[in-house]
Structure 1
Amino acid sequence: MPRSPEELLDFLAGLGIEVTTHRHPPLFTVEESQGLRGEIPGGHTKNLFLKDKKDKYFLVTLEEDAQVDLKSIHHVIGASGRVSFGKPDRLMALLGVTPGAVTVFGMVNDSERKVTVVLDEALLEHEVVNAHPLHNEATTSIRKADLLRFLEATGHRPLVLKVSQ
């Protein structure tokens, strides 16, 4: 059973990580989030849940307006051949989230470490990173150093790569 948003926040608190969470109506696209976000400082994310031909999964987290060449991203992230988007049932099974709520915080649910986390280096130019807390009705702000600490605590050593163009 995947962790709930409340359990995610408890996990972060247990690590001594302070976050701020802003509630809002459900957001399913970057465009919707840009229109309703208001003044939440920091880098805002979009996430690509990808699968390669050997069924290896990747979560690529980028700035919301970053451009990515999906035909060649496999060379950058170390995938076996071209990638495709992972199916919703695998997204739920591995990260405990649904399409429209994909988030780097989903790594808290990948206890078997089947997903490789890729952070675009441009995103980490921001001191604060914003992502959904396992659902798309809120945005959680976390300091980048704490995001990296969170990922390490979940057993995921992220690849920090230049993914965006």
Structure 2
Amino acid sequence: MDRHAKSGMLAAGLISGVTAFIIYRPHLQRALRRLTMWLMETSTKPIGQNMDEHITSPQTDLPYRKQNVSENIASPQTTLPNLNQSSTNNSESSDSISETDESTSSSDEEVVLSNKISLKSSVFPGDLPDEGKELLKNLENYSIFTETVNYKPKSDRNSSDQTVYCKNLFLKDRKGKFYFFICREESNVLLRQLKYKLKAHRNFSFASQVEVEENLHVLPGCITPFVFLSETVSRDIPVAIARDLILEKRLNFHPLHADFATRISFGHLLKLFGHLKRKLIIIDV
């Protein structure tokens, strides 16, 4: 009986030990893991300090490197030509152009410059009539600076000209109300669809020459959104523009004269109408 009792007690103790091990196993594992991590941190501490010293020391040179980078970026900007400089300055800057670029025509160079350089003053030909110059001064009063060039018909334009030429339609509905619509020169406008989008009364027709002169005070070939700078133009005329022009940065409009084209971004055109407190309707065509 004693032998069997001892065997039973041994078995019970063994079972209890296994059970306790199973129950406390997660705690033992966590304790063992912490002990291992502590030993590793203690043994690698000097190495970690040395690594921190090697990592932090180069940061003292970082502002100097940033300054050099900014200088390298900023310095080429000083070589950009200014559109408002005289022809003498333009000829000096052209000396730095490669032989390949020298073979490019002057008209091509003007187009490239006008597409890349943001103007800080209006640029225009010397033979622009006084009325056109006065118009550009009025735009400058709203911090709107433009570039005016000699107008060229579509057949005479250079293929490198990436600006957008617009046509301006002065329309009248059956009740005699007038509408002003701006779109791309090549757009095929369906007047029957346009009347629904502008909520006109019945069908559209083009305003006559007399109606253009009486309402916009320009000749039919000189119709331009710049006429709305004049207080004599009725505020009851809705002005609409095609949606596909809203991202364009070079829209061509006549500066009240058919022989010239003034380039303005859509953003500045919208800014102008905001200053004039006129609504510019954007529609799909």
**TM-score relative to the length of structure 2:** 0.50
1:101-122 per-position Cα deviation (integer Å, ceiling 9, x unaligned): 1112222235431321110001
CA contact (8 A) 2:245 2:266 kept: no
Correspondent of 1:50 among 151, 154, 171: 171
Report what 1:36 is aligned to.
156
Cα offset, 1:94, TM superposition = 1.9
Instruction: Choose between structure 1 and 2: higher helix proportion.
Output: 2
Instruction: Choose between structure 1 and 2: higher strand proportion.
Output: 1
Q: Aligned in 2, Cα 1:128/1:24: closer, same or farther, shift over 3 Å?
A: closer
Report what 1:141 is aligned to.
263
Report what 1:125 is aligned to.
247
CA contact (8 A) 1:60 1:119 kept: yes
Correspondent of 2:229 among 87, 108, 113: 108
CA contact (8 A) 2:168 2:181 kept: yes
1:31-80 per-position Cα deviation (integer Å, ceiling 9, x unaligned): xx212343543221011110111221111100111111122320011211
Q: Rg larger in 1 or in 2?
A: 2
Report which structure shows greater RCO (CA 8 Å, sep ≥6): 1
CA–CA separation in structure 1 for the residues paired with 2:181 and 2:148: 22
Correspondent of 1:88 among 179, 201, 209: 209
Structure 1: give runs of 5+ residues left out of the alignment. 26-32
Residue 139 of structure 2 corresponds to residue 19 of structure 1: no
Identity between Structure 1 and Structure 2 (%): 27
| SS at structure 2 position matched to 1:151 | helix
Structure 2: give runs of 5+ residues left out of the alignment. 1-129
CA contact (8 A) 2:218 2:256 kept: yes
Aligned residues, how many?
154
CA contact (8 A) 1:116 1:158 kept: yes
| SS at structure 2 position matched to 1:115 | coil
**TM-score relative to the length of structure 1:** 0.84
